[in-house]
Structures are given as structure tokens and as C-alpha cells.
Structure 1
Amino acid sequence: MTTQAEFRNYLFPLDGERLAPLRGLDALTFGKVSRSHPMAGEVIAKWDALSEELFHGLTCDGHIECGHYHPGDEGAPTAAMVQAASNLLAMLPAGDRRKLCYPIEANEWRKWSNPEVLINPNGLRLEDYGDDVRAAILQLLEASMGASGYRKARGCMITNAFLGELCDLPLIMNEWSYNFLLFGEPSLDKPWGWNFYGHHLALNCFILNGQVVISPTFMGAEPNIIDSGPNTGLRLFDAEEIGGLNLMRSLSADQRERATTYKLLHDPAMPEGRYHPGDQRHLGGAFQDNRIVPYEGVPISEFDARQKQAAMDIVAAFVEYLPKGSMEAKLAQVERNLDRTYWSWIGGHGDDDPFYYRIQGPVLMVEFDHHSGVWLNNSEPAKCHIHTVVRTPNGNDYGKDLLRQHYEAIHPGKAPGHE
């Protein structure tokens, strides 16, 4: 576990070459500047191209397994979500509503990103609005999510502001450095949704009747603890970090060896493309909607009952942002496919070792990664910088498969399908 002092060892000097040239830039200007940076510009250009691909969905082998997702009523708080969205729309002038609203099939769903660099300035930028609009957007998020998951999301936003204070870059990183988009028309029985994205937080929420899909998601923090100011003591991702380490340690020596796909977090044995300058070890981050991610590590079918429950507890920590009924349905779906799900690990498993792990099966992929510094100066991964990702494989990120089935039911043979 991270100590309060650890990240303090990695602070850049405020008047140094890393931070001083950026003072006074906002996130949008920083994004424009980054496009001309040799390394960042190349990464962004590749992301732009990926975002324009026809959606297929993340798979283990390039082929969609059909039949995993079914429309139904999971008891989602749809009425509360519709009311919150309607309240937001009612307070906005016509011009802002046009900026906010997109068709349900719009490709802007897929243009979210998690860096502090504002690459795609779509929708409404929260920092451009007053407390009333910000509160209305947060009320829609809160109505759509489980209570503990909503608190975690708010924790990411608050920690982003803390990082902005540490770096004296409040125009780039603050509590409201996020964009919000609305898709479709809020409805009790028609498909609609929203997405919310910015530094270390991205959520994509699709709603149909009493069913909610929140995926892809990205949550992270640098540092993952606040040690000064009014939010002192706020920590993020303890359950995911401790749960993953304990599960790895509970395996037999042979299982740990087979689960460890690479010994080092930036391992010379990694093939080209396995390590990404932005995502590092993550495979399901922004713009990876169509990625092929082969199963690796140890099948959870080998685990004993206690270890299987530990794996499910980790999954629950990742998807706690779902409202109660939707979370119960998701956990049941994962459990039905648990014997086709894999556990993989990169790094060591000592008390001080940073690490990466992935739980991947037909209906869920979650990733946890300790990163090297971006706004802290640790050149090697450290436990004070954490990224987490959730994906819904086989075509249901953004609720795409449910939307396809909905259209098929209304207009058989005319539904938009996968690639």
C-alpha cells in the first residue's frame, strides 16, 4: 500500500523545465500543442485513426461470440435518470443543448480519452459552466450509478484537482476538467445514454428500458492518495490493489509462474506494441474498441472456491459503479462464464512491487496497472500512480449489441450490425 510520503519523493520542481513552460496553458491549448509534439502527436494521430474505424468490439481472437447479451429489465433507476437528464436540458439555452446532444449512433461515443490533454473537445466542458450546470450533470451521473462507484468517480475528479495544485497547473488539471455528452433522447423505453471523460476518468453509460451498460470505463489517479487540504485521507483503488495482490499470493508457485506473462513491467521480452507510451501495459484503454486481446495466464477454472470468490470480489470492486440491479446482473453473468475466464499478471508480488493484472473472459475484461510518472517524476512504475480499465468484450461496449438487438426487434433485417 502507498504511504503518504511516497509520491512526495517524485514531485517536479515548480520552476523546472517540465512544469514551468506549461503554466498559463489550458487543457484545450495544451491539446493543440501536444498534436505538434513528436511522440504525443504520433500517438494522437493513431488514436484519431482508430476512432474512425467501424465498431467491431474487443475480442480474444478477432471473432465476436454472439448470444452473451440480452435486452431485459435489470431494475435500473431509469426514471430517476430520465428526470435528471430532463432537468439538465431544461436549464440549458438552445445553443448549449445543441453542443450537448448527439444521435444515439453518433461516433462521438468512441472519442473519449483519459489524458489531461483535451484531444476531442466534444459536448459541454464542465469548467466552462457554473455550479448549477455542473451540479445537474453530476446529479445525472449519481442517478445512473451505484453509490460507492459514484464516490470513486468523484474521488478521481477531486484527486485530479489535487494533482493540479501539486503541479501549479490548475487550468490543465482541476475538479471540472471533464467533458459531458448526451446521446439520444432521455426516455423510459427508448435507447439513450451519456459519456463523461477527462483526466483519469471516463465513463460511457448506455440506457435501455431497465437496463444499463457502463463500459468502457477508465478510472485512475496520480497520486492515489491526498495527504493535505480538505480532502486529506482520500485514497483510491485499495480494494483493487490489495485484492489483486492477495489473490496472486494465494496461488500455488506453479500457478503464479504460469499467470506471470512477463517478469518486468517494461520487459525486454515484450513484443512490439505490448507496451504503449500512454497506456503502458493496458490493452483496453481509449480507442482500443476493436482490439484483439488473446487470453493469457491461468484459467480461473483451476482456482479453488475461495480463490474464485476472491476473483469475483475483485470484479465487484471494478464494476461497483453500476446501479444495484445492473451490478447484480453483471456479476451473475461473469460468474456463469467464470470457468472461461483467465487471470494474468505482470511484475512481482512483494509488498513494494508495482504490478499489472487482468481478469478476462467472454463478458468482461478488467485491468489494473501501476504506472510510471506523468506529472510525478518516477521513471519506473510506482504504486502511487494507478490506472484501471473495464471493457465489455464481444460487442457490447457502449451497449452496442443491445442497441443492435433493439433495432432488429423494431425493423427486422435493418439493424446496424457489427463489422
Structure 2
Amino acid sequence: MNFRDYLLPADSPRIAAARGVTPAEYAQRMLATEKAQNLQREWQTLLDEAFRGITTHGKPQPDLFHLQDEGFDNTCAVNAARALLATLSDEHHQRVCQPVDAQQWRAWYNPEIPFNDFGVRLEQTSVATREAFRRLLRSCTSPSGFEKINHLMDANHFLGELYDLTNIMNRWSFHFMIFGEPSETRPWGWNIYGHHVAFCCFIIGRQLVISPTFMGVEPNIIDRGNEHDAILFTEEERRGLTLMQALTPVQQQRATVYTLMEDPAMPPERFNFADQRHLAGAFQDNRIIPCEGICAAEMSPVQRQLLLDTVAAFIHILPEGPRQARMAQVLRYLDQTWWCWIGSCGDDDVFYYRIQSPVILLEFDHHSGMWLTNEAPARFHIHTIMRTPNGNDYGQALLQAFQQYTEAE
């Protein structure tokens, strides 16, 4: 399938609603629809809940996350954040800076519609601020992670180019905030969010949590015909499919929770137009997600390694020290890790999968069209999610541990 066969016609109402307007004007138009208003009300209700974290039974599992030295070079991140703040106007500085425990951490979303106005959109900042942001991003990611986030931001711009809508979809159309004061000893962090990118980065000493993340593309191919061309999410797709195909027929049957991507057997809460098969998407910070499929404890050594290879395709965005610490965490709870699948597992099939343990939750999903016209899921529209269940999304479990430690002194 070629994504260009599914481009919206030039006279599409979707394009007309977005052309020649500011992001705020576009939001006003789109949020006037009943569908968007219902979604916004639902999200606000979830945001108003006190944070608990994603769990399997409704109560966070204790004693999973601890303050430790992961070897993260926080000096570079602190200096980059301070340099960025120095580029901001007084108004932007006030909007960007939030308390370390602010509710705005959890206000991220993934559509192109501006559902809130927290922080500042990077497109409204100076060139100096944007370059400073790139240095901050580089300081908190691996080289491949830095490249990936840049590709995703460019993929958003590429979609804007396809429809001449870079006024609402471009490489800088993302909210940005800093939480707490950049410090080498005290907790702080930052995030960006917008269309197909949500990236929450919490830092405490030499320890780093990047979670939640939402990363997606439509289309997953950037093909301008220059050195910036890319095909995205190939590793997450390939490694997940390789694992599923390595299971025995009996294991595959047990891992498959639904055989169709939009299965009539799905209960109403199992599928929605915004997240489709994802369970841990925007504003789902407290969702109860029971484990499904098969447990890694039942897998062969080869299958378990393929599972870890799939995890590695998600966490490669972390710098080396935090990445090694994250994988050690995953290994510690490997026998409590579950694998589930929706769809078929032929070489060209579309599918959803989830990896879920006490310390990590990963989702991969092929989606139907939003800005393309494919009514069925296709491989050129992909969403992925990375979460830390049981209370450590946004580094909140570590923040609580730090606060308890300082209060005890």
C-alpha cells in the first residue's frame, strides 16, 4: 500500500477547516464540534483525578522504584535548560515554568488540535529558543533517540506540507514546559506534546525517567527525495512481528486477545476513535489494565530474548546509563511480563501488541486514517506508547521518595 493513494482530496472539509488559520483559530473551529467537546470533557474529568498510575488491579504495587545513580550526565541537561530559559521573554518564561509536581505534566495529548494552551508552542518562540530546545533534547537522549524525535517532529511538518497546512502542523507545533528549577541535585523535568509526539522527561540527580511517551506518524514515510527522508518505526514493527511469529501455534492463539483489529467481540471501552486499540493513551494515567495474553515465564529462552529485543526497540531513546538501568528493571520482572496481540501475524498483516509488566508498559498499533482516507488500519499510520505503571510515570514515585527522604532529614 502506498500512502499517497489515500491522500485527502484538495476540497476536503478537513483541509478547509485548517487552511489559513492560526492554531488557536483552528482549535476554536474543531472544538466547536460535539465529538471534540465530548472528548475534551472526558479528558478533563480524567485529568482532575488525583494521580495514582496505571495498575493491573486498581492499587499500585509498592517498592518498585528507588532513588539511585544511573550514570546520567545531568550537568549537560541542567546547563541546556538554563540556557533555554535565558532565551525566553518574561511572558514565555512565566508560561513555560511550572512547579515540579504540577498537574500540567499530565495534560499532554496527541491530535493536531490544540486541546489546551499550557506552556508555549515552540513555533511561537525565537530561533534561539528552538536551538536551545534541541540542545536540551540532545542532552537527555541517546544519539538514536535524538534522531528519532527530530524525525517525528519533521514527519509532522511533512504531513503539513502534503496539504499545505504547515500553519497547524510543522516541526515546531508542540507545547513545551519545564517543571521545577533545573538542578543537579533536586528533581525537575520538561515535556513537549502535540500531534504524534508527547515526551515527558523527569530528572533527579543522575537518574532519568522518560515516561510517558506517545510517538506516532501518519504517514510513516518521509519521502521528499533528499537526505532527510526516513521510514519510521520499522524496528518496533519488525521485532514485535518476529516475536509473535516465533511463538508456537498454541502460544499464538493464547496471546491473541482479538483476531480482528476492530473486532465485534470487543467491549465498548476496548476501542475508541482517538486511541483505537491503545489502552494507555493520553489522560489514561490511572487506568486499570489487566494483563492479557501469555506470560514471559512460559516462553523459551529464544522467545524471551525476542521479547527483550522488542523492549529495546522502545527504550533505545534513553542515554546509555539510564537505558541499562531500565533494561535491568525489565529483566528483574521478566517472569511477570505479559505479551498480547490483536490481529493476524502474517508478514504483511496489520496488528496491535502490548508488553506489560510491573515496571513497563509498551503498546504498538497500526491505525486507520485520520489525515489519510484508509478506513482500515494500515502500516503507514503507526502509534506507539511507553508507560511506567504503578506510579512512576512523570517520575512521580521517585519524586515522592525524594520528598519523603528530605522530610526525614
- Contact persistence 1:369–1:386 (CA under 8 A): yes
1:213 is matched with which residue: 181, 185, 209? 209
Aligned pairs (5 A) from 1:19-38: 19-38=15-34
1:281 aligns with 2:261: no
How many Å separate the matches in 1 of 2:213 and 2:228?
Answer: 26
Secondary structure at 2:63 match in 1: coil
Q: Aligned residue for 2:231? A: 235
> Which amino acid is the alignment partner of residue 280 of structure 2?
G
Q: 2:352 aligns with which of 352, 356, 360?
A: 356
Paired residue type of 2:194: G
Q: Hey, what's the Cα distance between the residues in 2 that align with 1:27 and 1:322?
A: 31
Alpha-carbon shift at residue 96 of structure 1 (Å): 1.9
Equivalent residue letter for 2:99: P
Q: Deviations over 1:10-54 (max 9, x none)?
A: 111112333223211333222222222111221111011111110
CA distance in 1, matches of 2:296, 2:21: 48
TM-score normalised per structure 1: 0.95
Indicate whether 1:298 and 2:287 are aligned.
no
- Aligned partners of 2:134, 2:176: CA distance in 1, in Å? 10
- 1:156 paired to 2:160: no
Q: What are the ranges of 5 or more consecutive residues in structure 2 without an aligned counterpart?
A: none
Secondary structure class of the residue paired with 2:278: coil
- In structure 2, what is the equivalent of residue 260 of structure 1? 256
Q: Which whole-Å CA distance do the structure 2 matches of 1:154 and 1:50 have between them?
A: 30
Residue 223 of structure 1 aligns to which amino acid in structure 2? P
Q: How does 1:19-418 map to 2 (within 5 A)?
A: 19-231=15-227, 233-412=229-408
Give 5+ residue unaligned stretches, structure 1: 414-419
Q: CA deviation at 1:232?
A: 5.5
**Cα deviation, residue 309, structure 1:** 1.0
Summarize deviations over 1:58-101 as a string: whole Å, max 9, x none. Answer: 00110110011000110111000000011111222322211110
CA contact (8 A) 1:195 1:205 kept: yes
2: CA distance between counterparts of 1:21 and 1:204? 30
SS, match of residue 86 in structure 2: helix
Shift of 1:118: 0.8
Q: Which amino acid aligns with 2:374?
A: N
| 2:16 matches 1:16 | no
Q: 1:252-285 CA distances to partner (integer Å, 9 max, x unpaired)?
A: 0000000000011111100111001100000111
C-alpha RMSD of the superposition: 1.2
Q: Mean Cα displacement is larger for which, 124-133 or 21-30?
A: 21-30
- Offset of residue 170 of structure 1: 1.1
Contact 1:183–1:193 (Cα < 8 Å) also in 2: yes
Query: Which amino acid in the other structure matches residue 124 of structure 2?
Result: D
Deviates more, 1:404-413 or 1:226-235: 226-235
- Deviation sequence 1:167-207 (CA, Å, 0-9, x none): 22111111111111000000000000001111111111110
**3-state DSSP class of the match of 1:204?**
strand
Q: Give the TM-score normalised by the residue count of structure 2.
A: 0.98
The answer to whether the Cα contact below 8 Å between 2:295 and 2:338 also exists between their aligned partners in 1 is: yes
* Partner amino acid, structure 1, of 2:71: G
Runs of 4+ in 1 over 6 A off after TM superposition: none
Once residues 183 and 17 of structure 2 are traced to their aligned partners in structure 1, the CA distance between those partners, rounded to angstroms, is 47
**Residue identity in the other structure for 1:345:** W
Give the CA deviation at 1:229.
4.1
State the distance in 2 between where 1:261 and 1:25 align.
43
Asked whether the 8 Å contact 2:363–2:386 carries over to 1, the reply is yes
Counterpart amino acid of 1:136? A
Equivalent position SS for 2:128 = helix
Cα distance 1:126–1:231, how it changes in 2: closer, same or farther (>3 A)? farther
Tell me the distance in 1 between the aligned counterparts of 2:228 and 2:376. Answer: 26
8 A Cα contact 1:28 1:119, kept in partner:
no
User: Alignment identity in percent?
Assistant: 48
